[in-house]
Amino acid sequence: MISFSSVSKRYENGHQALANLSFDVDEGELVFLTGHSGAGKSTLMKLIMLIERASAGQVVIAGRNLNRMRRGQIPYHRRQVGVVFQNHQLLFDRSVYENVALPLNIAGFQSREVGRRVRAALDKVGLLDREKANPITLSGGEQQRVGIARAVVNKPPLLLADEPTGNLDPELSAEIMNLFRRFNSFGVTVMIASHDIALIRSLNHRVISLAKGQLAHDGLLPQEQGG
């Protein structure tokens, strides 16, 4: 689903954010992406979204070689990748329903189909009864779940989350992670960038760690002795 071959990213100011990075993520995997602040996690996700382009090497997503992708193909590509951000980027002048419906309206779905899909997505994150609410009246965890519903409403085969639990307490973080695991159990490939090593360790999935833009670790984390 995700294939990076000797990928480097140098920003215009000369900063080398990723260096000679190679890894593959198969369809149906759930992978955590970790590393210090500035290690290149968000940059890696921006390459997958085609918000940035690699300076060298090759990125292939679901068989699509992003190096060769033309401008006109980018909207289709982006609809195939759901994205969740830390600061969820909800619109506070619209209802929960309208926020989740946004990608479908942009894609030109008819309103009946929009309604069906929005309610299915809100149901999956446990917020069906809040569709008319303004997101500003929801808790941080609930707002993040609206962001997740919006990311999955197109039923993308690949879901990226960049620090999705960064603002949440441990209990809510665990709840959000369980939501991602549930999507993964239905076959969605999931990549989650996170600093929360304790939480990541407790979930025992594959971990890709970056250090200064290079691959530092790829695999399960060793479990702590004792406990």
Binding-site ranges for Mg ion (CB under 5 A): 41-42
Q: Nearer Cβ to ligand ATP, position 37 or 225?
A: 37
Single out the residue of 222, 207, 174 nearest to residue 34, CA to CA.
207
User: What is the smallest separation between the CB atom of 183 and Mg ion, expressed in angstroms?
Assistant: 21
Partner from Mg ion, ligand ATP, none binding residue 40, C-beta < 5-8 Å depending on class:
ligand ATP
Q: Nearer Cβ to Mg ion, position 85 or 109?
A: 85
User: What is the smallest separation between the CB atom of 37 and ligand ATP, expressed in angstroms?
Assistant: 3
Q: Which amino acid is at 7?
A: V
User: What is the smallest separation between the CB atom of 33 and Mg ion, expressed in angstroms?
Assistant: 9
User: What is the smallest separation between the CB atom of 41 and Mg ion, expressed in angstroms?
Assistant: 5
For residues 58 and 45, give the distance between their C-alpha atoms in angstroms, rounded to a whole number: 14
Q: Footprint of ligand ATP on this chain (CB under 6 A)?
A: 11, 13, 15, 17, 35, 37-43
Spatial contact of 115 and 149, defined as CB atoms under 8 Å apart: no
Return the structure tokens found at 42: 């968000």
Q: Nearer Cβ to Mg ion, position 118 or 168?
A: 168
Which residue carries 């390459």 as its tokens?
Answer: 47
Which residue carries 């190096």 as its tokens?
Answer: 67
Q: Is 80 exposed, middle or buried (0-12, 13-18, 19+ CB in 10 A)?
A: middle
Q: Which residue is nearest to Mg ion (CB)?
A: 42
